[in-house]
A and B are shown apart, each in its own frame.
Chain A
Amino acid sequence: DAGVIQSPRHEVTEMGQEVTLRCKPISGHNSLFWYRQTMMRGLELLIYFNNNVPIDDSGMPEDRFSAKMPNASFSTLKIQPSEPRDSAVYFCASSLAYNEQFFGPGTRLTVL
């Protein structure tokens, strides 16, 4: 099993540009989570899906952030427009039912 796959691994962009982060969960998992990690704020849950349906998006910072899960094997997190304060490592994780989460390697986003 390849584990959770995230792309790109690194993204450098300029303020105001659109950024799209991608995630492929582990096959068979029915829950998917997007997290953001920074030194200042630690690990924050942004949004999670169950069976492709968004369940809790209370952690999404503002309207510039949006997430979709069009099918069981793919999810995107989009930031439009991006700002320097969005610079962080973004993790995707997946799980089966109420079991432990498996994390991807993360996308390191730098907004200049």
Chain B
Amino acid sequence: AQSVAQPEDQVNVAEGNPLTVKCTYSVSGNPYLFWYVQYPNRGLQFLLKYITGDNLVKGSYGFEAEFNKSQTSFHLKKPSALVSDSALYFCAVRDRVGDKIIFGKGTRLHILP
């Protein structure tokens, strides 16, 4: 069965520093991988996805994620954090059959001014 794990409930980063939000997955075959962000009192918003091709995927708001097949990871990164990046981040995985996406439990990112 497919699954996704976000090992950190919360990540604190100083403004201007690089940030990483971790995600590992388990799926049979090659996965589709996604990152979403949720700001307070809003729905989830798509950030980026990996389907195939280059392992480094670039997305909205300067975020990027690196697909690592050997480590079954898809960590979200940003070179320089902004206070406005503070939000709840979800990693998600879908296998190549069906539309169902499995979401991680979310990681709350706090960017400290």
Interface residues of A (CB under 8 A from B): 4, 31, 33, 42-43, 45, 48, 50, 55-56, 91, 93, 95, 97-106
Contact = CB atoms under 8 A, between A and B. Distances in A.
Contact of A101 (B46, B96, B98, B106): B46
Contact of B99 (A31, A43, A91, A104): A31
B100 A56 contact: yes
Chain A interface, DSSP helix/strand/loop, else mixed: strand
A103 B44 contact: yes
The 10 A-B residue pairs with the shortest CB-CB distance in the complex, in nearest-first order: A103-B43, A100-B46, A103-B44, A31-B99, A42-B105, A43-B103, A105-B43, A106-B43, A104-B43, A91-B43
B67 to A, nearest CB: 16
A102 B34 CA distance: 12
A52 to B, nearest CB: 13
Given A4-B43, A42-B103, 17 more contacts: A33-B101, A42-B105, A43-B44, A43-B90, A43-B103, A43-B105, A43-B106, A50-B99, A55-B99, A56-B100, A98-B32, A98-B94, A98-B96, A98-B99, A99-B49, A100-B46, A101-B101
